[in-house]
Amino acid sequence: MAAPALAVDDLQGPGARRDHAERRRHGDLPDEHEVPAGRGGGEMTVKLSPDQQKYLAVAVLVLGGGGFGYIKYFWLPVSEKISETRAKIEEVEGKIAKAKNQAVRLNKIQKELEELNVAALEAEKRLPKTQDLPAVIDTVTALSRRYNLKLATFVPGGSKPQAHFIETTYMVTGSATFHELGRFLAAVALEERIYNVRGITYGAPDTEGRMNVTFQLISYQYKG
């Protein structure tokens, strides 16, 4: 018959057994049924995420002397993407800056064009593109009434082309005092449309100081 198995405490004296029990109570010794990690227990399986697997592969390459592989398969593609993206950003920013410059220039050109149109309209009022006989008659009639020049005749004459304009002559006769005639001629010179007066003749004044006057009124037309 086999001898019964003896525990460790049975092989030690009373003092040793008390010390052993005290150490076990304070956790200095493992429990009799406790299996240390890695001894007697089942194998532990650690699952890694795809990112962790990638980082682990990089670490293995670098630590294992695979720096060249890391540069080739990881860093170079990333570096190329960074360069391409930066070039694209610079290209877009350049186009934006160019568009802004063109917009500013377009606004400036548009403003200049508006100013030129206004100037052209003002110039056309002074030198119209047509003879516009009714406007000439209206002007002479209004000024003669304002300055008391009594019109007798107003006869349109011929037109004479010049280098950059066409001039048309009108024969005008009437009566006025010396001062009335002077004010009338000054008003003609101040008109928005360009006029000229030539060949002024006048007779002796009557008892009221009025005299017969004759002159040529010249209007100008733009020659495009």
- Measured CA angle at 216 (ends 210, 222), to 5 deg: 140
Separation of CA 38 from chain center: 72
Q: Is the dihedral of CA 124, 134, 181, 213 positive or negative?
A: positive
Between 98 and 7, the more confident residue is 98
Count of C-beta atoms within a 10 Å radius of residue 184: 22
Cα dihedral: 112, 114, 116, 117 (round 10): 170
Q: Spell out the domain ranges in the chain.
A: 49-126, 133-222
- The pTM of this model reads 0.52
| pLDDT tens-digit map of 21-58 | 555 555 554 444 444 444 444 455 666 676 666 666 65
Of 113, 121, 186, nearest to 149 by C-alpha is 186
What are the C-alpha distances in Å from 188 to residues 55, 59, 139, 195? 96, 99, 9, 7
pLDDT(5) > 80? no
Burial 125-139 (b: 16+ CB within 10 A, else e): eebbeeeeeeebeeb
Give the type of residue at 122: E
Architecture of domain 133-222: 2-Layer Sandwich (3.30)
Over residues 76-123, the pLDDT tens digits come to 665 676 677 777 777 777 888 888 888 888 888 888 888 888 888 888
The string of pLDDT tens digits covering residues 146-165 is 999 999 999 998 899 888 88
